[in-house]
Amino acid sequence: MLLILSEQNDEVTNRIIEWLDFYKKEWARVNYEDDVRLSYFSLTANGIEFELLVNHETTLHSKEIDRFWYRRGEINFDLKIGEDAHYDAGIREWLFRENTTIVDCIYHHLDSLKSINKPSDNDINKLIVLVEAQKVGFKIPDSWVVDRKEKLPYRPSYISKGLSFTGFRASDGQFYSAGTISGEGGQDEFSYSLFQEEIKKWVEVRTFHLDGENHSVSIFSQNNQQTKLDFRNYDRERPNRVIPFTLPHEIECKLNELMKVLSLDSGSIDLIVDQNGDYYFLEVNPIGQFLQVSNPGGYYLEEKIAKKLMA
Protein backbone atom coordinates (compact mmCIF):
# COMPACT_ATOMS: atom_id res chain seq x y z
CA MET A 1 0.00 0.00 0.00
CA LEU A 2 1.11 3.55 -0.77
CA LEU A 3 1.00 6.03 2.11
CA ILE A 4 0.50 9.68 1.13
CA LEU A 5 1.27 12.49 3.55
CA SER A 6 -0.33 15.74 2.42
CA GLU A 7 -2.72 18.57 3.32
CA GLN A 8 -6.48 18.55 3.15
CA ASN A 9 -6.97 20.98 0.27
CA ASP A 10 -3.95 20.13 -1.86
CA GLU A 11 -5.18 19.88 -5.45
CA VAL A 12 -2.02 18.13 -6.68
CA THR A 13 -2.65 15.24 -4.29
CA ASN A 14 -6.26 14.96 -5.41
CA ARG A 15 -5.28 14.73 -9.07
CA ILE A 16 -2.63 12.08 -8.52
CA ILE A 17 -5.04 10.02 -6.43
CA GLU A 18 -7.40 10.03 -9.41
CA TRP A 19 -4.65 8.36 -11.45
CA LEU A 20 -3.89 5.90 -8.65
CA ASP A 21 -7.56 4.93 -8.64
CA PHE A 22 -7.50 4.60 -12.43
CA TYR A 23 -4.61 2.13 -12.15
CA LYS A 24 -6.25 0.45 -9.13
CA LYS A 25 -3.34 1.14 -6.78
CA GLU A 26 -4.17 0.81 -3.09
CA TRP A 27 -3.38 3.97 -1.13
CA ALA A 28 -4.00 5.70 2.18
CA ARG A 29 -3.82 9.43 2.81
CA VAL A 30 -2.90 11.22 6.02
CA ASN A 31 -3.38 14.99 6.07
CA TYR A 32 -1.72 17.56 8.28
CA GLU A 33 -5.18 18.43 9.62
CA ASP A 34 -6.06 14.84 10.59
CA ASP A 35 -6.30 13.55 14.15
CA VAL A 36 -3.55 10.89 14.33
CA ARG A 37 -2.98 8.61 17.33
CA LEU A 38 -0.16 6.14 17.86
CA SER A 39 -1.85 2.83 18.64
CA TYR A 40 1.30 0.70 18.73
CA PHE A 41 5.07 1.12 18.38
CA SER A 42 7.85 -1.42 18.89
CA LEU A 43 11.51 -1.99 18.06
CA THR A 44 12.38 -5.68 18.35
CA ALA A 45 14.42 -8.34 16.58
CA ASN A 46 11.76 -8.15 13.87
CA GLY A 47 12.54 -4.47 13.27
CA ILE A 48 10.26 -1.48 13.61
CA GLU A 49 6.49 -1.88 13.78
CA PHE A 50 3.86 0.77 14.37
CA GLU A 51 0.16 1.32 13.96
CA LEU A 52 -1.60 4.65 13.44
CA LEU A 53 -5.25 5.46 14.08
CA VAL A 54 -6.41 8.27 11.79
CA ASN A 55 -9.53 10.30 12.64
CA HIS A 56 -10.71 7.59 15.07
CA GLU A 57 -11.63 5.24 12.22
CA THR A 58 -8.77 4.28 9.86
CA THR A 59 -6.00 1.96 11.07
CA LEU A 60 -2.65 1.94 9.26
CA HIS A 61 -0.05 -0.71 10.09
CA SER A 62 3.57 -0.34 9.05
CA LYS A 63 3.62 -3.87 7.59
CA GLU A 64 0.96 -2.85 5.06
CA ILE A 65 2.92 0.16 3.78
CA ASP A 66 5.48 -0.53 1.05
CA ARG A 67 5.64 2.89 -0.66
CA PHE A 68 5.60 6.48 0.55
CA TRP A 69 4.90 9.83 -1.06
CA TYR A 70 5.64 12.94 0.93
CA ARG A 71 3.67 15.73 -0.68
CA ARG A 72 3.59 18.24 2.21
CA GLY A 73 2.43 18.68 5.80
CA GLU A 74 3.32 16.45 8.73
CA ILE A 75 1.94 13.85 11.12
CA ASN A 76 0.42 15.53 14.18
CA PHE A 77 0.08 13.44 17.33
CA ASP A 78 -2.20 14.47 20.19
CA LEU A 79 -0.12 15.87 23.07
CA LYS A 80 -2.36 14.05 25.59
CA ILE A 81 -3.02 17.18 27.64
CA GLY A 82 -6.35 17.16 29.43
CA GLU A 83 -8.66 20.15 29.24
CA ASP A 84 -8.30 20.82 32.98
CA ALA A 85 -4.55 20.32 33.08
CA HIS A 86 -2.50 23.38 33.95
CA TYR A 87 0.75 22.58 32.18
CA ASP A 88 3.13 25.45 31.67
CA ALA A 89 4.78 26.23 28.36
CA GLY A 90 7.93 24.31 29.29
CA ILE A 91 6.05 21.04 29.84
CA ARG A 92 4.10 21.51 26.63
CA GLU A 93 7.35 22.05 24.75
CA TRP A 94 8.84 18.92 26.33
CA LEU A 95 5.79 16.83 25.33
CA PHE A 96 6.02 18.21 21.81
CA ARG A 97 9.69 17.16 21.58
CA GLU A 98 8.81 13.69 22.86
CA ASN A 99 6.20 13.31 20.13
CA THR A 100 8.58 14.69 17.52
CA THR A 101 11.12 11.96 18.37
CA ILE A 102 8.51 9.29 17.61
CA VAL A 103 7.36 10.97 14.40
CA ASP A 104 10.94 11.41 13.17
CA CYS A 105 11.57 7.68 13.65
CA ILE A 106 8.42 6.87 11.67
CA TYR A 107 9.61 9.23 8.92
CA HIS A 108 13.00 7.50 8.95
CA HIS A 109 11.29 4.18 8.28
CA LEU A 110 9.03 5.60 5.56
CA ASP A 111 12.01 7.24 3.83
CA SER A 112 13.60 3.79 3.51
CA LEU A 113 10.70 2.60 1.35
CA LYS A 114 10.23 3.33 -2.33
CA SER A 115 9.30 6.98 -2.17
CA ILE A 116 9.17 10.42 -3.76
CA ASN A 117 10.33 13.25 -1.51
CA LYS A 118 10.74 13.12 2.24
CA PRO A 119 9.65 15.32 5.18
CA SER A 120 13.18 16.64 5.69
CA ASP A 121 12.91 18.29 2.24
CA ASN A 122 10.87 20.93 4.05
CA ASP A 123 14.03 22.05 5.83
CA ILE A 124 15.99 22.89 2.71
CA ASN A 125 18.15 25.98 3.23
CA LYS A 126 17.80 28.59 0.50
CA LEU A 127 21.30 30.00 1.05
CA ILE A 128 22.96 26.57 0.96
CA VAL A 129 21.09 25.81 -2.26
CA LEU A 130 22.53 28.97 -3.83
CA VAL A 131 26.04 27.97 -2.70
CA GLU A 132 25.67 24.50 -4.22
CA ALA A 133 24.15 25.92 -7.41
CA GLN A 134 27.28 28.00 -7.91
CA LYS A 135 29.47 24.95 -7.30
CA VAL A 136 27.84 23.02 -10.16
CA GLY A 137 28.38 25.98 -12.48
CA PHE A 138 25.17 28.01 -12.33
CA LYS A 139 25.12 31.78 -12.37
CA ILE A 140 23.09 33.25 -9.53
CA PRO A 141 22.09 36.87 -8.88
CA ASP A 142 24.55 38.66 -6.58
CA SER A 143 23.06 38.15 -3.11
CA TRP A 144 23.43 39.73 0.34
CA VAL A 145 21.91 39.15 3.78
CA VAL A 146 21.71 42.43 5.68
CA ASP A 147 19.70 44.23 8.35
CA ARG A 148 20.55 47.76 7.25
CA LYS A 149 20.33 49.21 3.79
CA GLU A 150 23.66 50.99 4.18
CA LYS A 151 25.37 47.56 4.15
CA LEU A 152 24.24 46.89 0.59
CA PRO A 153 26.64 47.72 -2.25
CA TYR A 154 25.01 50.08 -4.69
CA ARG A 155 22.87 48.57 -7.42
CA PRO A 156 20.11 50.30 -9.43
CA SER A 157 17.55 47.94 -7.88
CA TYR A 158 17.34 44.86 -5.67
CA ILE A 159 14.83 42.09 -5.14
CA SER A 160 14.04 41.33 -1.50
CA LYS A 161 13.09 37.77 -0.53
CA GLY A 162 12.42 35.77 2.61
CA LEU A 163 15.29 33.63 3.85
CA SER A 164 13.33 30.59 4.96
CA PHE A 165 10.49 30.38 2.46
CA THR A 166 9.41 31.86 -0.83
CA GLY A 167 6.33 33.72 0.29
CA PHE A 168 2.98 33.60 2.00
CA ARG A 169 -0.67 34.09 1.22
CA ALA A 170 -2.29 36.76 3.39
CA SER A 171 -5.84 36.77 4.71
CA ASP A 172 -6.93 38.88 1.73
CA GLY A 173 -5.90 36.05 -0.60
CA GLN A 174 -2.96 37.96 -2.08
CA PHE A 175 0.33 36.09 -2.45
CA TYR A 176 3.36 38.00 -1.19
CA SER A 177 6.75 36.70 -2.23
CA ALA A 178 9.29 39.23 -3.48
CA GLY A 179 9.59 42.97 -3.67
CA THR A 180 11.88 45.38 -5.43
CA ILE A 181 13.51 48.48 -3.99
CA SER A 182 15.60 51.08 -5.75
CA GLY A 183 19.11 52.00 -4.76
CA GLU A 184 17.84 55.28 -3.33
CA GLY A 185 14.47 54.47 -1.74
CA GLY A 186 13.10 52.06 0.82
CA GLN A 187 13.35 51.47 4.56
CA ASP A 188 16.78 51.90 6.20
CA GLU A 189 16.54 49.21 8.94
CA PHE A 190 14.80 45.81 8.95
CA SER A 191 15.20 42.24 10.16
CA TYR A 192 17.85 40.14 8.42
CA SER A 193 16.69 39.78 4.83
CA LEU A 194 17.93 38.36 1.56
CA PHE A 195 18.56 40.87 -1.19
CA GLN A 196 19.47 39.94 -4.74
CA GLU A 197 20.48 42.13 -7.63
CA GLU A 198 17.56 42.43 -10.03
CA ILE A 199 18.40 40.65 -13.28
CA LYS A 200 16.66 42.10 -16.30
CA LYS A 201 15.04 39.00 -17.71
CA TRP A 202 14.01 37.93 -21.15
CA VAL A 203 11.91 35.06 -19.88
CA GLU A 204 11.23 33.10 -16.70
CA VAL A 205 11.56 29.30 -16.74
CA ARG A 206 9.80 26.92 -14.35
CA THR A 207 11.15 23.37 -14.41
CA PHE A 208 9.71 20.37 -12.64
CA HIS A 209 12.38 17.78 -11.90
CA LEU A 210 11.29 14.19 -11.37
CA ASP A 211 13.81 11.43 -10.81
CA GLY A 212 16.38 12.70 -13.33
CA GLU A 213 13.90 14.08 -15.86
CA ASN A 214 13.27 17.81 -16.35
CA HIS A 215 10.01 19.25 -17.69
CA SER A 216 10.08 22.97 -18.43
CA VAL A 217 7.86 25.85 -19.52
CA SER A 218 8.72 29.44 -20.33
CA ILE A 219 6.64 32.10 -18.59
CA PHE A 220 6.50 35.49 -20.25
CA SER A 221 5.94 37.49 -17.08
CA GLN A 222 8.28 40.41 -17.65
CA ASN A 223 5.82 42.74 -19.41
CA ASN A 224 3.19 42.62 -16.67
CA GLN A 225 3.72 44.94 -13.69
CA GLN A 226 1.99 42.47 -11.37
CA THR A 227 4.11 39.45 -12.36
CA LYS A 228 7.39 40.86 -13.63
CA LEU A 229 9.21 40.14 -10.34
CA ASP A 230 7.49 36.85 -9.53
CA PHE A 231 5.01 35.08 -11.80
CA ARG A 232 3.29 33.65 -8.69
CA ASN A 233 1.68 37.07 -8.23
CA TYR A 234 -0.86 35.76 -10.72
CA ASP A 235 -2.81 38.18 -12.85
CA ARG A 236 -6.14 36.42 -13.34
CA GLU A 237 -7.39 39.03 -15.79
CA ARG A 238 -4.29 38.99 -18.01
CA PRO A 239 -2.58 35.62 -17.51
CA ASN A 240 1.03 35.26 -18.56
CA ARG A 241 1.72 33.35 -21.76
CA VAL A 242 3.14 29.92 -20.86
CA ILE A 243 4.56 27.53 -23.46
CA PRO A 244 6.71 24.35 -23.39
CA PHE A 245 10.42 25.08 -23.20
CA THR A 246 13.51 22.99 -23.96
CA LEU A 247 16.50 23.66 -21.74
CA PRO A 248 20.00 23.55 -23.24
CA HIS A 249 21.75 20.24 -22.54
CA GLU A 250 24.36 22.00 -20.39
CA ILE A 251 21.66 23.48 -18.14
CA GLU A 252 19.87 20.11 -17.87
CA CYS A 253 23.12 18.49 -16.72
CA LYS A 254 23.71 21.19 -14.10
CA LEU A 255 20.16 20.78 -12.77
CA ASN A 256 20.53 17.02 -12.50
CA GLU A 257 23.87 17.39 -10.72
CA LEU A 258 22.46 19.96 -8.30
CA MET A 259 19.47 17.79 -7.42
CA LYS A 260 21.81 14.88 -6.69
CA VAL A 261 23.98 17.06 -4.46
CA LEU A 262 20.86 18.21 -2.58
CA SER A 263 19.52 14.61 -2.38
CA LEU A 264 16.26 15.67 -4.01
CA ASP A 265 14.40 13.37 -6.39
CA SER A 266 11.64 15.87 -7.11
CA GLY A 267 11.17 19.63 -7.04
CA SER A 268 10.04 22.79 -8.81
CA ILE A 269 12.96 24.91 -10.01
CA ASP A 270 12.91 28.58 -10.98
CA LEU A 271 15.36 29.95 -13.54
CA ILE A 272 15.53 33.18 -15.48
CA VAL A 273 17.12 33.89 -18.83
CA ASP A 274 18.48 37.41 -19.07
CA GLN A 275 18.43 39.65 -22.11
CA ASN A 276 21.84 38.30 -23.16
CA GLY A 277 20.65 34.70 -23.09
CA ASP A 278 22.46 33.79 -19.85
CA TYR A 279 20.72 31.40 -17.43
CA TYR A 280 20.45 32.25 -13.73
CA PHE A 281 19.39 29.80 -11.04
CA LEU A 282 16.97 31.25 -8.48
CA GLU A 283 15.66 28.48 -6.23
CA VAL A 284 14.24 24.98 -5.90
CA ASN A 285 11.14 24.09 -3.93
CA PRO A 286 10.94 20.32 -3.23
CA ILE A 287 7.22 20.52 -2.45
CA GLY A 288 6.31 23.26 -4.91
CA GLN A 289 3.37 23.35 -7.28
CA PHE A 290 3.82 21.94 -10.77
CA LEU A 291 0.37 22.20 -12.34
CA GLN A 292 1.51 25.36 -14.16
CA VAL A 293 4.15 23.14 -15.81
CA SER A 294 2.03 20.04 -16.37
CA ASN A 295 -1.01 21.66 -17.97
CA PRO A 296 0.49 24.28 -20.35
CA GLY A 297 3.42 22.02 -21.19
CA GLY A 298 1.24 19.00 -21.95
CA TYR A 299 3.53 16.85 -19.79
CA TYR A 300 0.82 14.91 -17.89
CA LEU A 301 2.99 15.00 -14.78
CA GLU A 302 0.21 13.76 -12.51
CA GLU A 303 0.10 10.44 -14.37
CA LYS A 304 3.91 10.21 -14.48
CA ILE A 305 4.13 10.70 -10.72
CA ALA A 306 1.39 8.13 -10.12
CA LYS A 307 3.30 5.60 -12.23
CA LYS A 308 6.54 6.35 -10.34
CA LEU A 309 4.74 5.74 -7.07
CA MET A 310 3.51 2.37 -8.30
CA ALA A 311 6.78 1.19 -9.86
The helix/strand count (H/E) of the chain reads as: 6, 18
Residue 85: predicted pLDDT: 57
- Residue 172 gets which letter from DSSP? T
3-state secondary structure of 87: coil
Averaged over successive runs of 10 residues, the pLDDT of the chain (311 residues) comes to 96 97 98 95 97 96 97 86 65 87 96 94 93 98 90 83 64 55 62 89 94 93 53 54 94 98 96 96 92 93 96 86
Residue 94: predicted pLDDT: 87
Q: 103-118 burial, b for 16+ CB within 10 Å, e for fewer?
A: beebbeebeeeebbbb
Sorted by sequence, the CB contacts under 8 Å of residue 73 that are 6+ apart come out as 5, 6, 7, 31, 32
* Domains along the sequence of the chain with CATH: 2-121 (no CATH), 123-310 (3.30.470.20)
Nearest CA to 155 among 185, 198, 193?
198
Residue 235: predicted pLDDT: 47
Beta strands 189-197; 47-54: pairing state: unpaired
Question: Roughly how many angstroms between the first and final C-alpha of the chain, as a whole number?
Answer: 12
Residue 157: predicted pLDDT: 81
